[in-house]
Structure formats: structure tokens, C-alpha cells
Amino acid sequence: MKHPIRILLFEDNPKYRESLELFCEVTEDVHLIESYTEATDSWKYIKKYEPDVVLMDIEMPGISGIEALQQIRKKDEHTRVLIQTAFEDNHKIFAAICAGASGYILKSAGLDAMEQAIKDVYKGGGYFSPSIAGKVIQFFQNGIVKQQVTYVDLTKTEQKVLACMTDGLSYKMIEDRLNKSYDAVHFHIKNIYKKLHVNSMSEAVAFAIRNHLI
């Protein structure tokens, strides 16, 4: 390799960010340009530094990594963005692929896998953690990646409530299944409607199915 792969990092978890910064220091083929705790101005920094590979976390303050990726793709189709996350959630994988991710690596994969992922993406290939790769193949086989998927950043509780809604449960039944109070269930459903830009349970369920939220 003629020169180290130049990396721009977006990661809000301090311990994981520090481990990646140290990894870049001790890895001969990788050089960290800069790291940021949020991705709101990611395109500005990409334009400034012109990195070889962008490492992008999904859940960050401000905007999510997938929303940042969507913004980046509107400006440049060729920036290599490797999504790094702790989640194997189908919806996040769908959304990342549809948004144009160059790869998707789990944080649990370890730094050796991270180095390989960076090199693969840099060379123009795609990298997916083994547990993700099988899902990606299924997405292609089922034609899912051809669909337009809207990414929605739901909390774990909101995901559980939405799953209950798609099961056809009433508000009272959701309260019983999740052991939540009336006010708590209504609070979460209100947030779900707001994030999905819908006004009813039927619309929420249709949106969830269409965008593989559940």
C-alpha cells in the first residue's frame, strides 16, 4: 500500500471512539484524520478532508448515521462509507444498504475485522460482518434492496409497542403485554406517530410493514 488509508470517524461512544483512535495510531496502513461525536456536519468535514473511508456510527446525537449517509449520497455517490454499529436490526441494515453504505460492520467484530473491512471498502469492495452477510443475501434474493426504505430511529420500547400494534393489539392489550401504564403506552404511540408521520394505528402498521420496521 503506497500510503495509509485516510479515515474520518463519526462515533459518539467515548470508549469505542478511543479504541478506534488507538487502533489507527498503531495500525501502519490506517491513518485517522479526525474524529467527531456527531454527524450533523459530516459532509462539511468530508469535503474539507476528502478521506479515503468514512467510519459512521448509526446512533448519534443530532442526526443518525444513516440520515448523514443519505445526505452524503446526495452530494457524492463515491464517498466510501462503512457503517459501524452494535445492532443487527433488520430495519437498520435495510436502510443502510438502501442509503448506499459501502459496508456494515458490527462493533463486536473486533479490530482485526475492522482493519479488513476498511481495506475492503477502500479497494472498492463491500464488507459485511458474517452475521449480516446472510441477511444481505436474503435481501437481494427477496428483492428487498430494490425497494425504497425510509429509516426511522425508534427506541427499543417504541419498537416493542409498534410490534404489538402490528399484531393487532388494542391499547389495553399493549399495556398488559408490555406491563406499561396507560399514560406510558399513549406517550410511546404518540412518539411513534410523530416519527412515522402518520395519524392512526392502521397507517403506522402499514408504514412499519412497508419499511421493514418489524
| Domain spans of the chain, in order of start | 5-146, 156-210
The vertex-48 CA angle with 65 and 16, nearest 5°, equals: 40
What is this structure's pTM?
A: 0.69
What is the predicted pLDDT for the residue at 56? 96
Q: Give the model's confidence band at 152: pLDDT under 50 very low, under 70 low, under 90 confident, else very high.
A: confident
- Check whether 148 has a pLDDT greater than 70: no
pLDDT digits (tens, 9 = 90+) for 16-67: 999 999 999 999 899 999 999 999 999 999 999 999 999 999 989 989 999 9
What is the predicted pLDDT for the residue at 213? 78
Q: Per mean pLDDT, which range of 5-9, 96-100, 181-185 is the poorest?
A: 96-100
Q: Give the model's confidence band at 210: pLDDT under 50 very low, under 70 low, under 90 confident, else very high.
A: confident
Looking at 3.30.1360.170, 3.40.50.2300, 3.30.1490.20, 2.130.10.10, the CATH number of the domain 5-146 comes to 3.40.50.2300
Looking at 1.10.10.10, 1.10.275.10, 1.10.760.10, 3.90.226.10, the CATH number of the domain 156-210 comes to 1.10.10.10
Q: Helix crossing, 201-210 with 156-166: angle to 10°?
A: 100
What is the predicted pLDDT for the residue at 141? 58
Q: Mean pLDDT across the stretch 97-111?
A: 85
Mean pLDDT computed over every residue of the chain:
85
Q: Which long-range contacts (CB under 8 A, 24 or more apart) does 39-42 make?
A: 39/10, 39/63, 39/64, 39/65, 39/67, 39/68, 40/68, 42/10, 42/68, 42/71, 42/72
What is the predicted pLDDT for the residue at 1? 55
136: Cα within 13 Å, side-chain hemisphere: 18
What is the predicted pLDDT for the residue at 153? 84
What is the predicted pLDDT for the residue at 88? 75
